[in-house]
Amino acid sequence: MSMESVRIIDLPKILDERGNLSFLQNEDQLPFSIKRVYWIYDVPGGEQRGGHAYRSMKEVIIALSGSFDVVLFDGKEEKRFTLNRSYYGLYVPEMIWRSMENFSTNALAFVATDSMYDESEYIRNREQFITESNGK
Ligand code: TYD
């Protein structure tokens, strides 16, 4: 997959003086149906998460609170996305290497995916990723 298929999804934002509301809804906003969600929190300063690609899994990453950077690599080009708004979803398709870093205090990374957890989906070695992605 190339970097061109990565994109920021602008989620609905219902502004209200009582507090704002956003939502994520299958089909309407996402190029896949959500099967699993997970979240990353209590990340100590300076730590990095991720450092892998998925063979066929797709994800949307949202900074529900605080901020962090998602660094993406398609085998050729690298791009950094700073997420710091709860109404932006970063769509990451399959076969994109990704790591997450620069977590602010109290950052909450929310991730929605199209499949169940499956370790065989992971490519955890960057060299292997480059080999596999350039063969596609
Ligand atoms: P991993 O995806 O490697 O974390 P990250 O990429 O965010 O650094 O997952 C870390 C561990 O958590 C790994 O041992 C598998 C487990 N895990 C699950 O059991 N279910 C899940 O949905 C996820 C995302 C991870």
What's the CA gap between 41 and 44, in Å, rounded? 9
Confidence of residue 135 (pLDDT cuts 50, 70, 90): low
Confidence band (pLDDT; 50, 70, 90) for 136? low
The pLDDT confidence band at residue 69, using thresholds 50, 70 and 90, is very high
Closest to 78 measured CA to CA, from 63, 102, 97, 104: 97
Chain Cα centroid distance, residue 42: 17
Provide the 10 A C-beta neighbour count for residue 85: 16
CATH number attached to the domain at 3-134? 2.60.120.10
Torsional class of 49: left (φ above 0), alpha (ψ -120 to 50), beta (otherwise): beta
Distance (angstroms) between ligand 1 centre and the Cα of 39 equals 10
Average pLDDT over residues 47-71: 97
> Which amino acid is it at 116?
M
Question: CB-hemisphere CA count at 13 Å for 24?
Answer: 24
User: Using CA positions, which residue lies closest to atom 23 of ligand 1?
Assistant: 117
| Amino acid code (one letter) for 42 | D
Which residue ranges make up each domain of the chain?
3-134
The label of the residue with tokens 């219902």 reads 14
Question: What does the pLDDT look like over 25-52, one tens digit per residue?
Answer: 887 889 999 999 999 999 999 999 999 9
* Cβ < 6 A, ligand 1 pocket: 36, 38, 40, 49-50, 52, 117
* Most informative mutation of 47, 117, 120, 125 for ligand 1 (most atoms within 8 A of CB): 117
pTM of the model: 0.96
